[in-house]
Structure formats: C-alpha cells, structure tokens
Amino acid sequence: MAAVKILSSPSKEYYFSNDVMDINNSSDDDSDSIFSIQTSSSASSFTRTNSHLANYRYENNRRYQSYREGNWLLPNDEQEQDRMQIVDTMLSLLLDGELHLSPLSHPRRILDVGTGTGVWASDMAYKFPNTRVIGTDLSPIQVATPDNCTFEIEDADDNWLYPPNYFSMVHTRNLLGGITNWKRFFDETYRSLHPNGWLELHESPYKIYSNNPAYTDIPLMRTVTLFSDISARLGRVCGEEVFGFKALMEAAGFVDVTETRYRLPIGTWPDSTNEKEIGRYNLLNCLDGIEGFALAIVGQGENIDPQEMMDEARKDILNKRARLYTTFIILRGRKPAACEVLPAQR
C-alpha cells in the first residue's frame, strides 16, 4: 500500500446561521426549515506540496480524486466536504458528542480509514493528546489538525503495510462503497491491532426507509437503491450487506462484537426535539448528496436524466408526510488478548 505523507493542510471554518432554523415548522414540506452553511476554505496550501496527488478529475462541474481513479464513486470537492461536515455534526448530535463507544484507556495509535476531511481523526487527536492518530484516504482533502494527527494517502483496499499489533483502535465512518473485500479488511485490521485493541465501524447503509406504509416505492428510494446496486455490481457493497458484517468480524477473530442500530430521520417529522434536529441535518445531507449519486449513476452508463432524477428525489426528501429515514450502525469488536486465544488461532 503506497503511502504519501501530507504535512499540512488549510483550516476550514463553518458558519451555521441558526436564525433560519424553525423547529416548530408544521408544514408538509421541509424546504422552509433548511439552514444555510457557508464555508471559507481552499485546498491551495495542500496542492502546493502535493500537486501530483491533487491532479483531480473534473466531470459535470464536480471534482473527483485522481489517485486510484474510480475506486470511490462520489466527488471530493468543497460541496462534498461540506456534506461530510453536516454528517459529522449530525452524528455528534446522535451520539451525544461521543466520538466512539469502545473503551479506550491510553491508546498508543489510532487509525481512521477513509478519513475524508479528517474531522474525526482531528477530534480524537485533541481528545487524546498523547496518542498518535493517523487518517488515511484516497483524496488529499484533510484540514488543519493538532500535531499528533497526520494524514496519508492510501487505498485501504490494498494489503496493509502496517506492522502487526500496531494500533489500539481502527475506525471507519461512512466507508461503505470504498472496499471490495471486507473479509480481507477485517483480517488486516485484526492483524494490525494490538491485543485488546478495538475495531469500530460507524456506517450508514445506502437505503431509504419510510414509516408511512403509503411510501414504499418512491423515486428517492429507487435512486438510492440503484446507486447501491451499481456499487455492488462493481464489487463495492454499500447497502444492507453491512448487517452481515458482525458475522465477518467474528470469523476474523474479533470478540465482544456488538452491533447498535440507530434511526436517522430525514426532515423534521419526528416528535422529539433531538430527532427533529438530527432530521434537519440529514435533510441537508440528502439534498446535498443526491447530485453525486445521480451523476455516479449516469457515469456508470445508466440511461437516466440526472436532472429529472434529482428533482424527483429532492421532492421526496422534502415531503414530511413520507416520514423517511436512513439507518446508522455502529459495529465494534475487540482483538482478544493472547491468553484468550488458542495457539493455532494466533
């Protein structure tokens, strides 16, 4: 696995204007409850030192990674990075600000695979100032971090070059669609964790659900399912296959494997204030993300009109009556200590 160190990256600031949020919005359409996000960043200081990696591919006014071109179907531009930030905030609300569920005491090294902008890796580095945190990704889009956090450009789908027993924790978040061989991924993480180290996956299968029985087959659902099917055809599962990962982790040798599922409403239809708030972020996530999906579908040769697909899907996303939601799953497992494992299994 080729690794390229990224030494520094620009800082990024997000401004959330709460004054346009409307928690008590009671209309059937969620379009009036969207809040605006502005971003002030540029990747220019990165591109000066790593221009060969930032030789991006542009298509339909969106930017894609050039390293291992085509291995990730979604863009890596500002719009996509803003979406990652929205998801980060949404998940922070969901998990009450917790970054992980695994019990970590004095972790030595933490690996964040598919780190994106590096926001989780950076937060972990602040939380554990004596821990070395490494974030890896196909795209050099990481933003400023504390000194104990570094980034590398790597394809996690390759064989891993990290030494055995190296990490205290390996983490992924929304990496579904980026890995062709999850069995190998679990074998590699198992090998690279030290005994009692933790693997923790935070993943959202690409599937839209409704708890209104009148909405079981709507354009948004069909779009997301088509994206998921295409990705699976390319060998990159990103749908409900994740519900089989617990068994794969156990087969790789992990113990104390647990799976926790959450509901992420789309929009402000739930009753509880917290779910409404989560739903508002998920609404933005879906509205922003749908273009990347539609373009990926066209890019894979499907005969659809992407604008029509986006318009219909956005109408569904904003329809409160549809009571739509996505799911989020946290899977975690521990590499057993040597004394827990039979010699043949070590």
Ligand X SMILES: C[S@@+](CC[C@H](N)C(=O)[O-])C[C@H]1O[C@@H](n2cnc3c(N)ncnc32)[C@H](O)[C@@H]1O
Q: Which residues bind ligand X (CB under 6 A)?
A: 65, 71-72, 84, 88, 114-117, 119-120, 136-139, 154-157, 173-175, 178-179
Which parts of 60-179 fold into alpha helices (H)? 78-94, 119-127
Token digits of residue 159: 């064989």
Spatial separation of the C-alpha atoms in residues 319 and 283, rounded to whole Å: 10
**Residue 65 or 319 having the CB closest to ligand X:** 65
**Residue 175 or 283 having the CB closest to ligand X:** 175
**Residue 119 or 133 having the CB closest to ligand X:** 119
Contact 317, 287 (CB under 8 A): yes
Closest distance between ligand X and the C-beta of residue 210, in Å?
A: 23
Contact 328, 203 (CB under 8 A): yes
**Residue 238 or 249 having the CB closest to ligand X:** 238
**Residue 122 or 319 having the CB closest to ligand X:** 122
Closest distance between ligand X and the C-beta of residue 78, in Å?
A: 13
Closest distance between ligand X and the C-beta of residue 139, in Å?
A: 5
**Residue 136 or 210 having the CB closest to ligand X:** 136
Spatial separation of the C-alpha atoms in residues 310 and 318, rounded to whole Å: 12
Contact 292, 308 (CB under 8 A): no
Give residues with Cβ within 8 angstroms of 316, minimum separation 6.
215, 218, 219, 220, 221, 322, 324
Three-state secondary-structure class, residue 135 = strand
Three-state secondary-structure class, residue 225 = helix
Three-state secondary-structure class, residue 295 = helix
Spatial separation of the C-alpha atoms in residues 290 and 292, rounded to whole Å: 5
Closest distance between ligand X and the C-beta of residue 115, in Å?
A: 5
Closest distance between ligand X and the C-beta of residue 275, in Å?
A: 21
Closest distance between ligand X and the C-beta of residue 181, in Å?
A: 10
